Structure 1
Amino acid sequence: MDGAAALEKLVPVLAAFGGGVLLARRKVVPAEASKAFADYAFLFAVPCYLFGNIYASDLGALFDWRAIGGYTAAAALAVAVLVCASAAYGVREPRAVALRVMAGVQVNTAYFAVPVFITVFGTAAPIFPVLLFQVCVLSLVVIAIMELGRAGAGAGSPGQRLRRALTASLTTPLVLACNAAILLNLVSVHVPRVALDGAAFVGDSASPVALFALGLHLGRLGLDVRGTTREELALIGFKCLAFPLLTWAVCGAVFGVRGEWLAYLVLIAAMPTPQNLFIFAQRYDVGVDLSASLVIKSSVVSLLLIPVWLQTVAS
């Protein structure tokens, strides 16, 4: 895929994202509405899309264990690099380190990867194994560190707070929809066609609405490029360049992943820092300004680099 073809694939993504930015900047649509659009996509449209597509998928092909193992190994190596780099930079407080690990390794699946994959590949199903890995492993580790480091906050003991947080993470609509689809697929339960059609109808709106919400969010906050710190540059560079390259090297050279799956994994790794980073930072009162800046700037950089990655992995 050459550069022009890759860019052509992203025209719908740019239109939805750019439309949100433009309408927010001109105050045609209130920028505060981004939360409502984002909640609709995250809590309803994306789960509907994933449920229908995973239920109808070949799970044997969807869960390519060599590919998943390669991505997990690349993520583990990336976590180790970020922990060491944070310590060298003078960041040793566990919650601050966990926040930086989340910024450099976790990816924006619901608001960014899903619409991009739908547009480019016609399906977002390959994202699901990585989504589960993020929620069931990476997010749980981050939540555990954050909860245990938040002395005296909230009701109950640290163990009770941690248990509540982990339960909330595992019972999000995204995870419940995916798990329900897998279970019904495995036990061959027939889901009525009208239900699948309804899920597809709602799910088709997930891509443009999620990107439009992200555009509204960016249009409200703006982009302060000159105020970018060295640490921000390092974390954005790691997320948008180093992590995809590391994933390519580990999955391709070490685990022997080839073809479409290698392209999927590299492109997933190239997705920006998730908006959940800002939510976590606010909830646990750590690195709030840094998190907001990383979410916005990594989204812009990723959007600019996606055509390059598409051309590279397809060559």
Structure 2
Amino acid sequence: MWVPPTAPTSARRRSARCGTAGCGTQPRRAPNTPGRRRSHGCVRPPTSPRHASGRPVGDLGRAQGPGPVTRPGGPDTRVAAVQGAISGISTIWVVIAVGWFIAHRGLVNQPGRRLMSTLAFTVGSPALLFSLLLEADLAHVFSRTVVVTIAAVAVVGVLYLAVAIPAFKQSLGDGLIGFMSSFYTNAANFGLPVAVALLQDGTWVAPVMLLQLAFIMPICLAILDVAASRRTGRRTNPWKYLLLPVRNPITIGILAGLAMNLLGVGVPDFVMRPVEMIGGIALPLMLLSFGVSMRLDPLPGKGPHRAPLWVAVALKVVVHPLAAWAIGSAMGLQGTDLYAVTILGALPTAQNVYITASRYGEGEMLARDAVFWTTILSVASLLVIAALLG
């Protein structure tokens, strides 16, 4: 049975009993300790117990009793790597297959697919991202591993822009979707099980998600908004361009969650519970919409987007993990830290890229096929990395 670590004497003195009826006795939230902020100053206990280091244990990074710890690279770790990859892939592809099936049976057509994408983009995703960023541990964002992650993303993105846009004469919107497909990582529904299996710690993906959701995605959405304004012929002055990102629902959800996390603003349960319920529709709708597109749209790899597609796939599956490993080695990362940044670089393209492309009507087939092929091919990359660095 897990026993919480004894708090230092000074921390016990600072603990205070809440006077709110029915709240029980919960200490106030210590800095950088995950848990939902509540308006009356108390905090709901974390959903899983935590080590003294602050990292969670339980379903996402379980530490069960005082048993032996498997050293990364052992046979048990490699078996867990295979099992984690299979689990992550099967979960994703079962939902995608359901989307393909309902489209094949005629239950959903193209207008229905667009409706699912719109709901995922404008309703589900903002709620999901708000709740994720509200409870994220922001202290981990400033570690050296995150610097390596940012540098690897920059290298891969610049390589795509240098190769694909001059060679394939892509529009601003299509080029940006290809740019995102080359580095934007599926850290949530694929990265979490992989991180737990290979690294024994699901919190490794948190800073990657925060980097993508709080910084990369708002900038990309602003550029796509500008491209959409140009395409439709709407004349927009520079001041309105600056306001476009904050009018985007996903950006609003990201910035609101990040700001409330930084400021420590309390959110009562009667607000958070419906927000979390609405956010729960985001991932299923994303995957179902993806499956519908697999049935109703041209087959993966076909069409004029083939050349930029394979450039993006090669960069994501091969170059991204190599760049993370090389930069991490140059910065002095070793052992688990170096292994982790390399694994994170090898994760496939995120479903969010396809949903974003579908919402803006830019590079839809390129994004869809990049998600499809990187999700399949990344398994080989992950297993090679586990064999070499694990």
The TM tier, using the shorter chain, reads 0.7 to 0.9
Q: Report the counterpart of residue 190 of structure 2 in structure 1.
A: 116
How far does the alpha carbon of each residue in 1:200-235 deviate from its partner, in whole angstroms, 9 at most, with x for none? Answer: 222233222211111112221130545566623542
Asked if 1:96 is matched to 2:171, the reply is: yes
How many equivalent residue pairs? Answer: 296
Q: Report the counterpart of residue 300 of structure 1 in structure 2.
A: 372
1:37–1:210 contact (8 Å) kept in structure 2: yes
CA distance in 2 between partners of 1:82 and 1:138 (Å):
15
2:117–2:285 contact (8 Å) kept in structure 1: yes
1:17–1:211 contact (8 Å) kept in structure 2: yes
Say which one has the larger Rg. 2
CA distance in 1 between partners of 2:119 and 2:339 (Å):
30
More helix by share: 1
The 1:88/1:202 distance shift into structure 2, 3 A limit, reads closer
Asked if 1:128 is matched to 2:210, the reply is: yes
Pairing 1:214-253 to 2, within 5 Å after superposition: 214-223=290-299, 225=301, 227=303, 231-253=307-329
TM-aligned CA deviation for residue 260 of structure 1: 8.1
TM-aligned CA deviation for residue 98 of structure 1: 6.9
TM-aligned CA deviation for residue 192 of structure 1: 0.7
How far does the alpha carbon of each residue in 1:251-282 deviate from its partner, in whole angstroms, 9 at most, with x for none? Answer: 522345616852674155644782334665x5
2:190–2:347 contact (8 Å) kept in structure 1: no
2:348–2:375 contact (8 Å) kept in structure 1: no
Alpha carbon RMSD of aligned pairs, Å?
A: 3.7
CA distance in 1 between partners of 2:154 and 2:348 (Å):
13
Q: Which of 29, 43, 60 lines up with 2:139 in the alignment?
A: 60
Asked if 1:80 is matched to 2:152, the reply is: no
Alignment-mate amino acid for residue 155 of structure 1: R
CA distance in 1 between partners of 2:228 and 2:281 (Å):
35
TM-aligned CA deviation for residue 313 of structure 1: 5.2
Asked if 1:199 is matched to 2:275, the reply is: yes
How far does the alpha carbon of each residue in 1:59-94 deviate from its partner, in whole angstroms, 9 at most, with x for none? Answer: 212x23534432332233234323432476374xxx
CA distance in 2 between partners of 1:151 and 1:201 (Å):
35
Normalised to the residue count of structure 2, the TM-score between the two structures is 0.62
Alignment-mate amino acid for residue 215 of structure 1: G
CA distance in 1 between partners of 2:177 and 2:358 (Å):
10
Q: Which of 168, 174, 179 lines up with 2:244 in the alignment?
A: 168
The 1:5/1:189 distance shift into structure 2, 3 A limit, reads closer
1:47–1:174 contact (8 Å) kept in structure 2: yes
TM-aligned CA deviation for residue 106 of structure 1: 4.8
Q: Which of 174, 181, 204 lines up with 2:257 in the alignment?
A: 181
Select between 96-105 and 297-306 the one with higher mean Cα deviation: 96-105
Q: Which runs of 5+ in 2 are unaligned?
A: 1-79, 197-201
Q: Report the counterpart of residue 29 of structure 1 in structure 2.
A: 108
CA distance in 2 between partners of 1:175 and 1:151 (Å):
21
SS state at 2:265 partner: coil
Q: Which runs of 5+ in 1 are unaligned?
A: 283-287
TM-aligned CA deviation for residue 307 of structure 1: 3.0
Q: Identity over the aligned pairs, expressed in percent? A: 17
2:348–2:374 contact (8 Å) kept in structure 1: no
1:277–1:295 contact (8 Å) kept in structure 2: yes
CA distance in 2 between partners of 1:310 and 1:13 (Å):
17
CA distance in 2 between partners of 1:248 and 1:228 (Å):
31
Alignment-mate amino acid for residue 82 of structure 1: Y
Q: Report the counterpart of residue 285 of structure 1 in structure 2.
A: none
The 1:105/1:67 distance shift into structure 2, 3 A limit, reads farther
Q: Tell me which of the two structures has the higher relative contact order, counting C-alpha pairs closer than 8 angstroms and 6 or more residues apart.
A: 1
SS state at 2:234 partner: coil
Normalised to the residue count of structure 1, the TM-score between the two structures is 0.75
Asked if 1:153 is matched to 2:153, the reply is: no
SS state at 2:171 partner: helix
